[in-house]
A and B are shown apart, each in its own frame.
Chain A
Amino acid sequence: MCGIAGLIHRGKSSNVGSELQGMLQALKHRGEDSTGYALYGDTDGKNFIMRFKVGENVGEGSSSVMEDVSVYDERKKIVDQTLVEMGAKILKEERTLPYSLRYELEYNAKDLLEFSQKVESIPGVEILSMGKSLEVIKDLGNAKMVCDRYSLDKLVGTHAIGHARMATESGVDIKSAHPFWGYPFSDVSVVHNGQLTNYWNNRRVLENKGMRFMSECDSELIAVYIAQKMREGASLEEGMKDSLIGLDGVFTYFVATKDSLGMAKDTMAAKPLVLYESDDLVAMGSEEIAIRSVLPHEIDTYDPFDGEVKVWQI
């Protein structure tokens, strides 16, 4: 089933980590195999924040295996060496869990493709997000468990999207969890509720164009599809509108960039979405109860129609 939620503050920052935790926790009945956050924090915009993992947290149905911490340590060493070779300087390092790391990097690069390919060529290493504002945090369990594990409740920023997952078509592990980074674009992330039926056809085409897939989760296709459209010169909104034709199936998804948040709904309108929009805040989720966790007073909400695409700026 899965549940998605997102919010964007316009003209101000807020405690988006805590707000999104409340929204996703309200949707936990839609799935709590894993939960993921894409948080756009307040930064000076000078350095990159790289969230990556050097191993898996494995649940039922996953083909991944749990490994010894010494393996993670070895991979981390190779990542550090690779970053030095690429000319990236590690300014700050956090290791929340043995397999999950956060680096602040000083790095000058226009295209992150080469950088990402080099880092991810290390076996067992996956970049969860790369950007100057974006941080993707995802792990097994419900929203509160993940939020507590990674201490997300104090994160201040402008916007955020998140996902509560009920695994259906791929395993219970971090690599299949949402949100997906819009590799290789800085600060692009995607969450999705639904099923895509032309996943393999699109995947083959995109892989031939040099794009990478880290999981077999159909939702990853949306991030890659839109990233490819943007590589070809389309704007975020144009890429999203194109996806309504190019992607087959039922879906509602959110895309976020450094300064915007967008939603798209398929032409069958088969997946739910409730939306609240005001001058200073947009909040949306699979169910109204998610919005109520941040706006408990009486508000006007609505369901976007079929084939609708909307994008808001901070």
Chain B
Amino acid sequence: MANIKTSEKKSKAQSMGMHTEVLTGRTQQKFFNPDEAENFYYFGTYDVDFNKRTDLDVLNMSAPEANKEIDKLMSEGYGTIVIKNPQGKHSLGVGILNKLNLIFEGSLGYFGMGSCDGPIVRINGRVGWSCAENLMAGKVVIEKNAGSCFGAAIRGGDLICKGSVGARTGIDMKGGTIIIGGDAGAFTGFMMQRGRIIILGDVGINLGDSMYDGTIFVGGEIGSYGSDAVDAELTSSDQDWLRRKLKVAEIGENFDLSKMKKIVAGKKLWNYDNLEPTEKKGAI
């Protein structure tokens, strides 16, 4: 657990025995076995060449047709695909389990880039609800705003929104990093279990409500804390990590990191030290 700063929240949490109770749980010593490396590759993925580039106009395509076309292009070795006229369609780019440079010239509707593992995606518009839900690895950058449930249940990768996001950002997230350049709505980090959320702007009510673990960094004002969310000390290593992440995300270049607030779970409800599949791959 992180160092807990002195605050009203802390004393309340401590008075309730949240920091002293003995917790039990499963043994967390088994991490990964390098011999299992072959299990971390997907059947049916393609060798693509990032220098082989093509455009795909999806104006008159349904989402399944567009997604099948993306798959077909990857099978032909295209490693960079530019999607024209997404026009707010739902479920574009879902289920890509491949290395790929994917660029959307426009906005996406609901469930854009859901259940992906590996692609590097840039969306030059806005995204609707549940963008990049269940992301396992890769990077998704949104140039404008995002809807609610942004990065729900992600398990790895970097998810960056340069604008503002709706409610329940990072709900149930189990790993990875979510970076928000603007403001975030209510219930951000609701039931998060691992991973990190960085918000440079303000955040709404019930921040980190019922969070099990993980860390939330907030640069602006906090509407209110959710139950179990408490302040923690922002260390120099935290600032170093934030600096690196923001630089890679090309966001918040001049942001004064010393003003960041760090929020963690006040009660250790379970042990989430097991490595996520993404991290196992990284270790291999």
- Tell me the A residues contacting B by CB distance below 8 Å: 267-270, 272, 274, 287-289, 291-292, 296, 298, 300-303, 305-306
Contacts and interface: CB of A to CB of B under 8 A. Distances in A.
Given A288-B128, A289-B90, A292-B88, A305 B167 contact: yes
Interface stretch (B32-40, B142-150, B173-181, B212-220): B142-150
A302 B142 CA distance: 13
B147 A306 contact: no
B146 to A, nearest CB: 8
17 contacts: A267-B205, A268-B186, A268-B187, A272-B128, A288-B88, A288-B109, A288-B128, A289-B88, A291-B88, A296-B87, A301-B145, A303-B145, A303-B148, A303-B165, A305-B166, A305-B183, A306-B205
Contacts of A303: 145-148, 165-167, 185
Contacts, number: 72
A172 to B, nearest CB: 26
Contacts of B144: 300-301
Given A300-B144, A302-B164, A267 B186 contact: yes
B88 A306 contact: no
Interface string B117-149: 000000001101100000000000000111110
Interface string B175-203: 00000000101110000000000000000
- Report whether over half of chain B's contact residues are helix, strand or loop; otherwise say mixed: loop
Q: Which 3 A-B pairs have the closest CB atoms?
A: A269-B167, A288-B88, A303-B166
A203 B163 CA distance: 41
B185 A305 contact: yes
Contact of B147 (A272, A289, A296): A272
Contacts of A267: 186, 205
B225 interface: no
B115 interface: no
A296 B148 CA distance: 23
Nearest to B184: A305
A301 B185 contact: no
Contact of A302 (B89, B109, B163, B187): B163
B110 interface: yes
A288 B92 CA distance: 14
Contact of A269 (B110, B145, B146, B166): B166
Contacts of B186: 267-269, 305-306
Given A289-B90, A292-B88, A306-B204, A300 B167 contact: no
Contact of A289 (B89, B129, B187, B204): B89
B107 interface: yes
